[in-house]
Every structure is written in structure tokens, then in C-alpha cells.
């Protein structure tokens, strides 16, 4: 087994970061730009037996051990759910029911303090291969306060020969003291041509890659993940009109989290178009259009409309209320009481907001 080639926009960043050789590095930026891939490439190169300026050789015993997730000098610190999603082994994941029968455990979505303590103990052991040790933490913002404080003590006095690589998709959630003890690197955005070429190399056809990349806000990893999760491109393009007309099953096949994400993007684009800017996630042709002229209140000079009246008659409050409601829904999306009822509620909420806006009525 060998690792996939690094994405073209990540390779120059890898070369530059390898030249720095910092003992504590923080990779930061929005999700979908390749934090995990770049972080793993950095620790691979640091542990490689025959490294080059471009990174790890990919063929030595050290590289092979990382490929099969058994390297004795690498500690990957992630939430259990992220370990499972990326195909890495989950330590101490077995659980038993009251009768002693083994059952599937509930996987943590936080980096647990016990796992960090194991990582700290790992850093204090002698290197097995003699090329130092590495700790890769992803996504770093998933550390709770206890875990973050325990890591901070280690970063204040890092063990000799150990390199820490923290990769985060929300670095502002990290303790300022942790950020201050790391050399920060903000990931560069790929240009559209690079991202589309990379998605095509991953198996997406040109048309699907363009729609998925736009729906992901230009973030290639997120676009690929959506495609691999089975997101139907045609359903995505038809979503705004389906919600506008209240079609049943408009959100069918999506998890609550995916549904909220799609709806927030649609709400964003409707607001963007309202203020005269280009939509980011959907094509203009796929967005529902407003019907009829704006209402005007008697006695108001059309050349100088009252801002409050214009806001109410434009239906803008409907979009703003919808945006606020979606923010609340995002907080509970991972733990809905009833998935089907939540999806139905989200679809009805979207239909109401779009209907109010497009008919020029206040919410």
C-alpha cells in the first residue's frame, strides 16, 4: 500500500515547511483545503529513511509502516470518529453490554484527555527507528479544555527529538497559548483549474466536478467527500427550486448535518444576490427568482425609500430569520431526536422562507 500523491497546491507548501523544520507547527485554514494530507506528508517526510527536498521517498520501511498505520514513532491523535472515517485503528474501542457481549462502542467526537496522556507518554520513550518521533493532531480544535491544557504543558517544554504537527479547520477555537507556541501556516487556496484537475484525477467527470466544487465553496477535499458520500449532482442543482415549491423529499437521502449545510449555503446565496453580489455555492440559473415588483408604502418617495420600509417589503427579514434558525439547527444536527422529522421541518422552514421572500412579503 502506498500513499496517494499530494495535491498540486499542497506540494509547494510541503517543500517550504520542510525547510523550516519547526518542532511545533500549526496548519490552519478552512476545511477542505488539505490540512490532514499536508500534516501527514510532513510527518512522513520527517520519519522517512530516504527523504528528499520534495518529501518522503514513499518506498522505505518507515513510509510503508505509516501506510499500514503501524509506525512505532508516529502518534496520530484524533477523535475516535475521525480515526474511523480516515481508516486508522481505534485504540481501546471495544465495549460490552450488561451480559458481557461485545458491542459497537459510541465513538467520541472529541480528542480525549486519556488519549493525549498516552501521546505524552509516547513522546517520552526512545525512538524505535532512530529518526525522532512525531505527533500529528487533527482536527486540533476538537481538543476540550482539559486536553488542550495538558498539551500546553508539553509544548512549553517539548521532549527532544519530537515534532508536533497540529492541523486545524477552526484555529480560532484553540487556546491562544497553544497558537503562540507553534509556528503557524495558513493553507493556500487552489485555483479553480488546479482543483478541477485534481477532482477529475480522483474519478469525477468534468461536469460533476465543477458542480461539486462550487457547492463546496471552492474547497476540493469537501467536494470529493460529498461525491464519495453519494451526493447527486442533479439533486443538488434542483434543490433550490424543489424547496421553493415545497416538493416532498427535497432533502431525502441527506443526514441532518448535510441538510443544514446545504440550506445554509442556499440562504447565503439568496442573501448575496439580494445585495447585488454573485452567489458562491449555486449557479444563478439554479436559484429561484422573485416574482412581481417591490411593494411601496403610500407617502414614501420612490427615489428615496425609507430603509426600514424597504427592508420589510423586500422580504429580507424572511431570509435573515431563516439564517438565524439554521444556525440553531446546526447546533443539534449531530444529535436529532428524530431524523425524518427534522428533515421535514427543515424543508418546510426553507419553503416558508423562500416563499415569503419571493413574494415580497415579510416573514
Domains and CATH numbers, the chain: 11-186 (3.40.50.300), 232-295+308-358 (no CATH)
Dihedral angle, C-alpha 345, 336, 260, 106, nearest 10 °: -160
For residue 37, CA distances in Å to 41, 43, 167 come to 6, 10, 10
Rounded Cα gap, residues 104 and 108, in angstroms? 12
Report the share of the chain in percent with pLDDT over 90: 70
- Reported confidence tier of residue 230, pLDDT bands at 50, 70, 90: confident
- Check residue 93 and give its pLDDT: 61
Rounded Cα gap, residues 43 and 133, in angstroms? 9
Mean pLDDT calculated for residue range 92-108: 59
Rounded Cα gap, residues 140 and 91, in angstroms? 19
- Reported confidence tier of residue 102, pLDDT bands at 50, 70, 90: low
Among the listed residues 188, 191, 195, 190, the one whose alpha carbon sits nearest the alpha carbon of residue 212:
195
- Reported confidence tier of residue 317, pLDDT bands at 50, 70, 90: very high
DSSP 249-262: TTTTT--HHHHHHH
- Check residue 292 and give its pLDDT: 44
| pLDDT of residue 357 exceeding 80 | yes
For all residues of the chain together, what is the average pLDDT?
A: 87
- Reported confidence tier of residue 1, pLDDT bands at 50, 70, 90: very low
- Reported confidence tier of residue 299, pLDDT bands at 50, 70, 90: very low
- Reported confidence tier of residue 104, pLDDT bands at 50, 70, 90: low
pLDDT 10s digits, 125-175: 999 998 999 999 999 999 999 999 999 989 988 888 999 999 999 999 999
Does residue 349 have a cis bond before it (omega within 30 degrees)? Answer: no
Residues in the chain: 363
The number of beta carbons lying within 10 Å of the beta carbon of residue 312 is 17
| pLDDT of residue 303 exceeding 50 | no
- Reported confidence tier of residue 309, pLDDT bands at 50, 70, 90: very low
Residue 92 backbone dihedrals phi, psi, to 5 degrees: 55, 45
- Check residue 206 and give its pLDDT: 93
Higher pLDDT, 201 or 2: 201
Amino acid at each position: 500500500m502506498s500513499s496517494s500523491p499530494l495535491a498540486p497546491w499542497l506540494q509547494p507548501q510541503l517543500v517550504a515547511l520542510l525547510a523550516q523544520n519547526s518542532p511545533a507547527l500549526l496548519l490552519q485554514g478552512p476545511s477542505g483545503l488539505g490540512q490532514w494530507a499536508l500534516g501527514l506528508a510532513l510527518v512522513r517526510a520527517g520519519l522517512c529513511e530516504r527523504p528528499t527536498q520534495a518529501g518522503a521517498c514513499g518506498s522505505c520501511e518507515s513510509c510503508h509502516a505509516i501506510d499500514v498505520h503501524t509506525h512505532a514513532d508516529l502518534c496520530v491523535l484524533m477523535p475516535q470518529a475521525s480515526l474511523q472515517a480516515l481508516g486508522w485503528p481505534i485504540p481501546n474501542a471495544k465495549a460490552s453490554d450488561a451480559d458481557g457481549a461485545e458491542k459497537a462502542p459510541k465513538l467520541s467526537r472529541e480528542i480525549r484527555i486519556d488519549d493525549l496522556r498516552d501521546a505524552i507518554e509516547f513522546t517520552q520513550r526512545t525512538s524505535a527507528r532512530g529518526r525522532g518521533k512525531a505527533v500529528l493532531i487533527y482536527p486540533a480544535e476538537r481538543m476540550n479544555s482539559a486536553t488542550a491544557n495538558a498539551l500546553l504543558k508539553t509544548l512549553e517544554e517539548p521532549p527532544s527529538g519530537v515534532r508536533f504537527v497540529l492541523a486545524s479547520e477552526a484555529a480560532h477555537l484553540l487556546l491562544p497559548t497553544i497558537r503562540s507556541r507553534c509556528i503557524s501556516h495558513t493553507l493556500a487556496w487552489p485555483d479553480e483549474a488546479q482543483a478541477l484537475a485534481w477532482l477529475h484525477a480522483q474519478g469525477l467527470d468534468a461536469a460533476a466536478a465543477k458542480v461539486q466544487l462550487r457547492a463546496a465553496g471552492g474547497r476540493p477535499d469537501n467536494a470529493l467527500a460529498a461525491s464519495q458520500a453519494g451526493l447527486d449532482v442533479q439533486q443538488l442543482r434542483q434543490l433550490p427550486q424543489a424547496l421553493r415549491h415545497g416538493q416532498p423529499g427535497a432533502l431525502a437521502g441527506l443526514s441532518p448535518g448535510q441538510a443544514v449545510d446545504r440550506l445554509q449555503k442556499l440562504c447565503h446565496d439568496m442573501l448575496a444576490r439580494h445585495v447585488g453580489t454573485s452567489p458562491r455555492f449555486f449557479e444563478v440559473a439554479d436559484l429561484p427568482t422573485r416574482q412581481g415588483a417591490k411593494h411601496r408604502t403610500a407617502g414614501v418617495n420612490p427615489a428615496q425609500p425609507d430603509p426600514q420600509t424597504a427592508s420589510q417589503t423586500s422580504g429580507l427579514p424572511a431570509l435573515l430569520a431563516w439564517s438565524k434558525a439554521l444556525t440553531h439547527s446546526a447546533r443539534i444536527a449531530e444529535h436529532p431526536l428524530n431524523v425524518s422529522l427534522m428533515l421535514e421541518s427543515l424543508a418546510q422552514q426553507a419553503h416558508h422562507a423562500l416563499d415569503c421572500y419571493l413574494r415580497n412579503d415579510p416573514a
